[in-house]
């Protein structure tokens, strides 16, 4: 397999891992916002889709800035910073889409971008910690 395909596969796997990790957050939001189930929202998607996007963007940012080191070789601070950048990029994309479709809702935008940024930073640190646990596992490589 070519290195480019390996990187793409690693980025997609990182996205899937983050999507699974963020899934309960969407369910929790649905439980808080829609206790009686009257809204017709797929609450599981509220955590899954942004988690996937942030995981893929995190993997791309790490791949561009890590000098071909393994993921476990990153410091926790750098992993958190790269997760923060990934969350800001995905949050910025969300703000652009919302501004094109709806009038500005500043509090909602700040809440969404802030949550994506915080969750991405925490997930970046968690990814490095998990990669360090599986030292000899081939999936511990950076995308």
Q: What are phi and psi of 74, to 5 degrees?
A: -75, 145
pLDDT at 12 over 80: yes
SS3 37: coil
Residue 100: both structure tokens together: 């094109």
Report the number of distinct structural domains present in the chain.
1
Domain of residue 104 covers 3-140
Report the candidate in 90, 70, 87 with the shortest Cα–Cα distance to residue 130: 70
- CA 11/CA 1 separation, integer angstroms: 15
Please list the helix, strand and coil fractions of the chain in percent, rounded to the nearest 5, in that order.
80, 0, 20
- Using pLDDT thresholds of 50, 70 and 90, give the confidence band for residue 118: very high
Q: What is the CA angle 15-17-19, rounded to 5?
A: 65
Burial of 22 (0-12, 13-18, 19+ CB in 10 A): buried
High-pLDDT (> 90) share of the chain, %: 38
- Using pLDDT thresholds of 50, 70 and 90, give the confidence band for residue 140: very low
Query: What does pLDDT average to over the chain?
Result: 85
Residue 111: both structure tokens together: 């809440």
What pTM did the predictor assign? 0.82
């Amino acid at each position: 397999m070519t290195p480019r395909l390996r990187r793409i596969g690693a980025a997609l796997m990182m996205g899937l891992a983050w999507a699974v990790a963020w899934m309960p957050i969407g369910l929790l939001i649905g439980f808080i916002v829609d206790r009686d189930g009257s809204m017709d929202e797929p609450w599981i998607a509220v955590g899954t889709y942004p988690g996937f996007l942030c995981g893929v963007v995190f993997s791309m940012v790490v791949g561009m800035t890590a000098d071909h080191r393994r993921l476990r070789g990153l410091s926790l601070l750098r992993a958190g910073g790269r997760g923060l950048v990934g969350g800001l990029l995905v949050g910025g994309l969300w703000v652009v889409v919302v501004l094109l479709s709806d009038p500005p809702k500043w509090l909602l935008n700040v809440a969404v971008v802030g949550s994506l940024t915080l969750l991405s930073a925490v997930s970046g640190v968690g990814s490095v910690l998990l990669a360090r646990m599986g030292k000899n596992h081939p999936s511990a490589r950076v995308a």
